[in-house]
Structure 1
Amino acid sequence: MATTMHSEGAIPTANGSASGRSRWKYMDTILSREGGHTDDDYDPGKTPIDNIEKSKVLVIGAGGLGCEILKNLALSGFKNIDVIDMDTIDVSNLNRQFLFREKDVGRAKASVAAEFVMQRVPSCKINAFVGKIQDKDEDYYMQFSIVICGLDSIEARRWINATLVGMVEMENPDSLKPLIDGGTEGFKGQSRVIFPTMTSCIECQLDMHAPRAAVPLCTLATIPRQPQHCIEWAHIIKWEEERKDIVLDTDDPEHITWLYQTALARAKEFNISGVTYSMTQGVVKNIIPAIASTNAIVAASCCNEAFKIVTSSAPFLGNPGQNNYMLYTGDSSIYTYTFEHQQKEDCPVCGNLPKDLSVNAESTLGELIESFAERPESQLKKPNVRTEEKTLYYSTPESIRQQTEPNLKRKLSEMLIDGEEMAVSDPAFAIDFRYKIRFA
Structure 2
Amino acid sequence: MSQPVMVSGPISPPKSKNSRWTYLDNVRRHPGPFTGETFNSSEEAVSLMDNLKVLVIGAGGLGCEILKNLALSGFKQIHVIDMDTIDVSNLNRQFLFRASDVGSSKAEVAARFVEKRVRGVSITPHNCKIQDKDDDFYMQFNIIVCGLDSVEARRWINSTLVNLVDDENEDSLKPLIDGGTEGFKGQSRVVFPTITSCIECQLDMHAPRAAVPLCTLATIPRQPEHCVEWAHIIAWEQENPFPTLDNDDPEHITWLYKKALARAQEFNIQGVTYSLTQGVVKNIIPAIASTNAIIAASCCNEAFKIATQTNPSLGMAENYMYYTGNDGIYSYTFEHLKKDDCPVCGNLARDIEVDPNFTLQEFIDSLAERAEAQLKKPSIRADRTLYMQSPPSLEEQTRPNLVKKMGELVGNGDEIGVTDPSLGAVNFKYKVKFSREFRGAVVKENID
Quote the offset at 1:236 in angstroms: 2.1
> Given residue 124 of structure 1, which amino acid in structure 2 is its aligned partner?
V
Say which of 74, 77, 92 aligns to 1:77: 74
Quote the offset at 1:378 in angstroms: 1.1
Q: Does 1:31 align with 2:20?
A: no
Quote the offset at 1:296 in angstroms: 0.4
Say which of 170, 173, 177 aligns to 1:176: 173
Q: Does 1:411 align with 2:411?
A: no
Q: Decide which moves more: 296-305 or 254-263.
A: 254-263
Quote the offset at 1:264 in angstroms: 2.5
The alignment's TM-score, normalised by the length of structure 2, stands at 0.90
Quote the offset at 1:398 in angstroms: 4.3
Quote the offset at 1:402 in angstroms: 4.1
Say which of 230, 246, 254 aligns to 1:249: 246
- Hey, what's the Cα distance between the residues in 2 that align with 1:243 and 1:398? 17
Q: Match of 1:428, SS?
A: helix
Q: Match of 2:50, SS?
A: helix
Q: Retained in 1: the 8 A contact 2:359–2:405?
A: yes
Cross-structure match for 1:6: none
- Hey, what's the Cα distance between the residues in 2 that align with 1:28 and 1:306? 16
Say which of 360, 365, 370 aligns to 1:365: 360
- Hey, what's the Cα distance between the residues in 2 that align with 1:176 and 1:351? 16
Q: Retained in 2: the 8 A contact 1:204–1:347?
A: yes
Cross-structure match for 1:135: 132
CA separation of 1:218 and 1:400: change in aligned 2, threshold 3 A: farther
CA separation of 1:231 and 1:401: change in aligned 2, threshold 3 A: farther
- Hey, what's the Cα distance between the residues in 1 that align with 2:256 and 2:395? 24
Q: Does 1:428 align with 2:433?
A: no
Q: Retained in 1: the 8 A contact 2:182–2:285?
A: yes
- Identity in percent: 65
- Hey, what's the Cα distance between the residues in 1 that align with 2:321 and 2:38? 27
Q: Decide which moves more: 233-242 or 77-86.
A: 233-242
Q: Retained in 2: the 8 A contact 1:10–1:28?
A: no
CA separation of 1:260 and 1:239: change in aligned 2, threshold 3 A: same
> Given residue 247 of structure 2, which amino acid in structure 1 is its aligned partner?
T
Say which of 297, 302, 305 aligns to 1:305: 302
Q: Does 1:392 align with 2:386?
A: yes
> Given residue 191 of structure 1, which amino acid in structure 2 is its aligned partner?
S
Q: Retained in 1: the 8 A contact 2:38–2:309?
A: no
- Hey, what's the Cα distance between the residues in 1 that align with 2:298 and 2:413? 44
Q: Retained in 2: the 8 A contact 1:52–1:307?
A: no
- For each residue in 1:282-313, what CA deviation from the matched residue of structure 2 results, as whole angstroms up to 9, or x when unmatched? 11111110001100000000000000000011
Quote the offset at 1:355 in angstroms: 0.7
Matches within 5 A, 1:159-308: 159-243=156-240, 246-308=243-305
Cross-structure match for 1:3: none
- Hey, what's the Cα distance between the residues in 2 that align with 1:175 and 1:258? 43
Quote the offset at 1:277 in angstroms: 1.5
Quote the offset at 1:276 in angstroms: 1.5
Q: Retained in 1: the 8 A contact 2:145–2:299?
A: yes
Cross-structure match for 2:151: 154
- For each residue in 1:30-58, what CA deviation from the matched residue of structure 2 results, as whole angstroms up to 9, or x when unmatched? 11211001123422252443132110000
Q: Decide which moves more: 241-250 or 259-268.
A: 241-250
Quote the offset at 1:399 in angstroms: 4.2
Return 5+ residue gaps in structure 2 as ranges. 1-12, 436-448
CA separation of 1:346 and 1:288: change in aligned 2, threshold 3 A: same
Q: Retained in 2: the 8 A contact 1:138–1:167?
A: yes
Q: Does 1:93 align with 2:98?
A: no
- Hey, what's the Cα distance between the residues in 2 that align with 1:348 and 1:374? 17
Q: Retained in 2: the 8 A contact 1:99–1:116?
A: yes
- For each residue in 1:178-230, what CA deviation from the matched residue of structure 2 results, as whole angstroms up to 9, or x when unmatched? 00000000000000000111111111110000111000112222222222112
> Given residue 185 of structure 1, which amino acid in structure 2 is its aligned partner?
E
Q: Does 1:46 align with 2:46?
A: no
CA separation of 1:169 and 1:247: change in aligned 2, threshold 3 A: farther
- Hey, what's the Cα distance between the residues in 1 that align with 2:379 and 2:221? 30
Q: Decide which moves more: 376-385 or 136-145.
A: 376-385
Cross-structure match for 2:62: 65
CA separation of 1:256 and 1:360: change in aligned 2, threshold 3 A: same
Q: Does 1:333 align with 2:335?
A: no
Q: Match of 1:95, SS?
A: coil
- For each residue in 1:301-338, what CA deviation from the matched residue of structure 2 results, as whole angstroms up to 9, or x when unmatched? 0000000000011111112xx11111111110111111
> Given residue 112 of structure 2, which amino acid in structure 1 is its aligned partner?
E
Q: Does 1:379 align with 2:374?
A: yes
Quote the offset at 1:421 in angstroms: 1.0
Q: CA RMSD in A?
A: 1.9
Q: Retained in 2: the 8 A contact 1:33–1:45?
A: no
- Hey, what's the Cα distance between the residues in 2 that align with 1:222 and 1:264? 16
The alignment's TM-score, normalised by the length of structure 1, stands at 0.92
Q: Decide which moves more: 223-232 or 105-114.
A: 223-232
Q: Retained in 2: the 8 A contact 1:48–1:310?
A: no
Return 5+ residue gaps in structure 1 as ranges. 1-8, 12-17
Quote the offset at 1:263 in angstroms: 2.2
